[in-house]
A and B are shown apart, each in its own frame.
Chain A
Amino acid sequence: MRKLFLFLLFGALAGLASAADMGRSVVQVLLYSQTPIWDAPWRSNPVAGSSGSGFVIDGERVMTNAHVVSWAKQIVLRRFQDPRPWLAQVEHISHECDLAVLKVAEPGFFDGLDPLPIGELPKVRSTVVTCGYPAGGEQISYTSGVVSRIELQNYVHIGNKAFLSVQTDAAINPGNSGGPVFQDDKVAGVAFMGSPGLENTGFFIPPSVINHFLEDISDGRNDGFPKVGVRIVSLQNPAFRRYLGLDPTGDGARIDSLTDYAEKAGLLKKDDVVLEVDGSRVGSDGTILLDGNRVYCTAVLQRAQKGQRLKIKLWRGRKEIEVAVPMGIHREDANTGNLYDTQPRYFVYAGLVFTPLTLDYVKTFGRNWRSVANLEMVYELYYQRNEKPEKVRPEPVVLAATMAHPVNADLRLANRAMIDEINGRRIENLEDVVAAFKDNAMEQHIIKFASGTVECLDKAGADSANAEILSTYGIPADRRL
């Protein structure tokens, strides 16, 4: 996986710009945001200013990237050549596909601004023009380039999902994020990220993903992208094809593994060969032909909306069959991606800070968070679910920190440790932690960690110190559940 970074301009805010036709409907998005501190979840980082771009779409809305308006405290829009600041609110945001639509409450903002129509997926080698408010200048900026390639790409804002993405050599720089990419007077994409190691590579979100998002929110709710829960791998080895009773050089890719929920649903099985998805023929390398480009077949699966049934033609038991797979939303892997806009859950008791095991939490360990000390947490977060689904806890909990007080000062294992049991109760989520302490009838609380280490707390002392610890360390509430 290539490392990508987000083009978000932090720090100095750029000023306003001059003219151009299509550019009239392109706005600058000025954001003040505040992110939480994941290992001290009642606290927040300092307020930070940043800027991006956006554009007017149908229904008096402004489209931009989710990462341009995440953790917003205040969003201000600036129209083309208009010094007046306009306050905006997020109407819908999809962190998965890095898109958001904004509303402006005050009338007048959309006067004279034409909504930009969403166009088609541009062809490889065709010319596109990016437009936005990148860093290093005060004017609106246009750059043109060609479409270099179209493929599934990891979307770094969420971090653990890949969607269709278009690569271009048009300069996309910090501040361009959320701005439109034009072709033939229509929006061919939303600029969103670049690659630090490569020259002249910017990426934009193609119309299929934009339209999916717009259609999804058209009922006033953002459901997200449904998943089938299978891993489809290439089926090119002639022996493997013969083993399944297929022509050695034909089409079709193989289902190598299924998530727990897909296995339970029972519609798809291991070693099913996927021949066709929603009418698109699947090649032996797992790709389909999409507007003249071969892209991985999940690009088609991602076209479906929640609740739709997707027709999949399979080769199973040496026969062709067709199944209609209901497309459901599954968020079982939410904690392995970056989380946004929801304050972290926590519970503090006797100075012990409990919080769910999330990627955001382990990232507080620094760049080497995958190092040895945290093997158990990394395994729980990324591998347990696939290897031993029967042992998975819905929400593994960690002791993130201990706010020092005589009542807890003798705990040796006081932070960065995953909880197994408290007072004999297996901890499956944060609510279990609350209940385990509350329901304890013994004189001590017994905390068993995943490593096997046991720590005890004097119950009476802990109960009486609780309020004092919260006030000493400025923790406004003992829980956020």
Chain B
Amino acid sequence: MKTVRIIMLAATLVASSFSSLDADNGPLAWQESIVRFDVTRNDHNFRVPWDKRAQSISKLGAVIDGNEVLTTAQGLANRTLVRLQKGGRGRWFNGEVKWVDFQANLAVVGVSDETFWSDLAPVQFAEADELRDNLKVVRWRAGNIERRAAEFSRFTVADANFNQAPRIELKASSEIEGAGRGELMVSGGKVVGLVASKSGGTCSVIPAPFITAALRLRADGNYKGLGYFDFIWQPASNPATTEYFELNGPARGVLVIKTSTRPGAKSPLNLHDIILEVDGFPIDIQGDYLDPDYGHVIMEYLACRNKWAGDIVKLKVWRDGKTQEIDYTLSKADFTDNLVMDRPEGTEPTYLIAGGLVFVPLSAEYLSSWGKDWQRTAPFRLVFYNKQKPEEEQRALVVLSLVLPDFYNIGYQERNARNLVLDRANGLRIDTLESLDNALKSPEEGFHVFEFKKGSALQKIILDAEKLSAANQRIAKRYRIGQLKKLK
């Protein structure tokens, strides 16, 4: 009897491990659950903002419950047409983006044609303890399912390119080429995550538990978006520093050095509070904590570990020689009101052209037009504004980006009249294109007076107000610009 039971047990184990391998490897595995995307979008050149260039992007997604497809948000900004294809070949179906969050880098797409959904089956997402072993990257390639092995490396919390929105990422190495377009990272028949990008041999993957939490909230109508810690801290690893702030006991926690990065924001934190715990997790002197699922990760993740914008995080801080409990409400990861505004969701570029002077808002998109390496290649002064905070009287900035040559603007066509930040126009402070448009309605004694920020290579430009509209018409015609201003 005993023997039989042992044998039976062994048999089940073998069977189950076979089945999980089959789930990844069989010739038909995954083909019912991965679909291809063909997205057409306007790839705007923010330095020639009236110019639209159509771009086509191919990517992948996973079929989920409720006849929907999950993919990354990348490439969906400024989309004009989204098409989907199943089975790696054949007919394309029109899709409709039903939900997208660019900070979370997730999107859900629907297809109204019912025939699309036949032969498709939703994927199953992995749990937090199933994310590390037997990883594979799966995608459609030349009409067949391609699978490449991947090896788990670590979990990290990454900052966005322009702002502080934290993202948890699973890092895994793989030799798969050109990944980073929503391929599935799978293990044992379950989806471990979507591959968001690949750099060198390392894939960055949005992990399944984060995806399932977001999808669940969205289904319930409770999705509020990512939150983040709107304060800046430094590690409190120097005992002399903690001693100075009179922290008793062993070294722990992090020191708050900026309580908020937004103008006028009220923070429950005080400068030089030492944060000891977040939601019950002790913070170490590096600013890390031990996550039950992901190991040691930086405390920023506690702003999105089952927490969302508007939620309260419990902080235990050391202040004035004793501990104190604080309710910290997470700000929404929305950086459209940064001094250099960041609108990852994509908008058509806005601009205002006056007498050939092209004015644009100073935005993340504008800086990104210098390419991936914008922090080094864009004009230093503009890059530095991304480090500066908006102020009450200067919440955003308008840049003179270029001058379309015309006799009307002769004298301003040299290089020193580019990438200048406006201070005032006709005596009025300028922070948005609307305020500039408004200022242009009241010229000063027949002239438009543009003043640029102190320290600019050129600080003043004057245009003839009376001749402006004739010059505008001439310039619009010569440079074939349909619309001389687009404020929204």
Chain A residues within CB distance 8 Å of chain B: 233-240, 242-243, 256-257, 270-271, 368, 370-372, 375-376, 378-379, 382-383, 386-388, 410-413, 444, 446, 451-458
Contact = CB atoms under 8 A, between A and B. Distances in A.
Contacts of B380: 370, 378-379, 382-383
A376 B244 CA distance: 27
A383 B381 contact: yes
B244 A446 contact: yes
17 contacts: A233-B416, A233-B458, A236-B411, A243-B449, A256-B460, A257-B454, A371-B376, A372-B375, A376-B387, A386-B455, A387-B453, A412-B234, A452-B232, A452-B234, A454-B234, A455-B238, A458-B240
Given A237-B412, A239-B464, A371-B376, A410 B258 contact: no
B180 to A, nearest CB: 23
B463 A372 contact: no
Contacts of A410: 237-240
Contacts of A237: 409-412, 461-463
A233 B412 CA distance: 10
Contacts of B467: 239
B293 to A, nearest CB: 28
A383 B455 contact: yes
B258 A452 contact: yes
Interface of B: 232, 234-235, 237-241, 243-244, 255, 257-258, 272, 375-376, 380-381, 383-384, 387, 408-412, 414, 416, 447, 449, 453-455, 458-464, 467
B255 A454 contact: yes
Contacts of B243: 444, 456, 458
B239 A256 contact: no
Contacts of A371: 375-376
Nearest to A457: B240
A236 B239 CA distance: 63
Contacts of B454: 257, 386-388
Nearest to A371: B376
A351 to B, nearest CB: 14
Contact of A379 (B244, B384, B416): B384
B179 to A, nearest CB: 27
Contacts of A383: 380-381, 384, 455
Contacts of A457: 240
A387 B455 contact: yes
B455 A234 contact: no
A354 B304 CA distance: 41
B411 A240 contact: yes
- Top 7 closest A-B pairs, CB basis? A237-B411, A236-B411, A386-B455, A239-B464, A387-B455, A456-B240, A240-B462
A218 to B, nearest CB: 37
Given A233-B458, A454-B241, A375 B387 contact: yes
Nearest to B466: A239
Given A237-B410, A386-B454, A387-B454, A454 B237 contact: no
A202 B362 CA distance: 41
A238 B464 CA distance: 8
Question: Of residues A243, A368, A370, A383, which shows the largest number of chain B Cβ atoms within 10 Å of its Cβ?
Answer: A243
Contacts of A243: 447, 449, 462
A346 B216 CA distance: 60
Interface of B is mostly: mixed
A234 B414 contact: yes
Given A410-B240, A456-B238, A456-B244, 10 more contacts: A235-B411, A240-B462, A256-B458, A378-B380, A379-B380, A410-B237, A412-B238, A453-B257, A454-B255, A456-B240
A31 B239 CA distance: 51
B376 A239 contact: no
Contacts of A382: 380
A242 B238 contact: no
A386 B463 CA distance: 26
Question: Of residues B241, B454, B460, which shows the largest number of chain A Cβ atoms within 10 Å of its Cβ?
Answer: B241
B376 A368 contact: yes
Question: Of residues B381, B447, B460, which shows the largest number of chain A Cβ atoms within 10 Å of its Cβ?
Answer: B460
Nearest to A445: B240
Given A256-B458, A375-B384, A410-B239, A242 B464 contact: yes
Nearest to A233: B458
A455 B238 CA distance: 7
A181 to B, nearest CB: 31
Question: Of residues B237, B244, B258, B380, which shows the largest number of chain A Cβ atoms within 10 Å of its Cβ?
Answer: B244
Contacts of A271: 460
A455 B241 contact: yes
B410 to A, nearest CB: 6
A407 to B, nearest CB: 9
Given A243-B447, A378-B380, A458-B240, A257 B412 contact: no
A382 B462 CA distance: 27
A233 B414 CA distance: 11
Contacts of A455: 238, 240-241
Contacts of B414: 234
Contacts of B411: 234-237, 240
B364 to A, nearest CB: 15
Contacts of B375: 371-372
B107 to A, nearest CB: 30
A288 to B, nearest CB: 18
Contacts of B272: 454
B259 to A, nearest CB: 11
Contacts of A451: 257
Nearest to A382: B380
Nearest to B451: A270
A473 to B, nearest CB: 21
B439 to A, nearest CB: 16
A271 B453 CA distance: 16
A454 B461 CA distance: 44
Contacts of B387: 375-376
A1 to B, nearest CB: 10
A451 to B, nearest CB: 8
B362 to A, nearest CB: 16
Contacts of B383: 372, 375
Contact of A454 (B257, B412, B462): B257
A456 B241 contact: yes
B485 to A, nearest CB: 20
Contacts of B463: 237, 239
Nearest to A452: B257
Nearest to B449: A243
A455 B398 CA distance: 38
Nearest to B387: A375
Nearest to B453: A387
Given A372-B376, A412-B238, A444 B447 contact: no
A456 B467 CA distance: 63
Contacts of A412: 234-235, 237-238
A247 B248 CA distance: 76
A240 B458 CA distance: 13
B396 to A, nearest CB: 18
Contacts of A379: 380, 384
Contact of A239 (B234, B381, B455, B462): B462
B184 to A, nearest CB: 34
Contacts of B410: 236-238
A411 B235 CA distance: 10
A376 B384 CA distance: 8
A394 to B, nearest CB: 18
B299 to A, nearest CB: 16
A387 B380 CA distance: 14
B69 to A, nearest CB: 37
B352 to A, nearest CB: 18
B311 to A, nearest CB: 27
Contacts of A375: 383-384, 387
Contacts of B239: 410
Nearest to A444: B244
Given A379-B384, A446-B244, A411 B238 contact: yes
Contacts of B241: 454-456
A256 B449 CA distance: 13
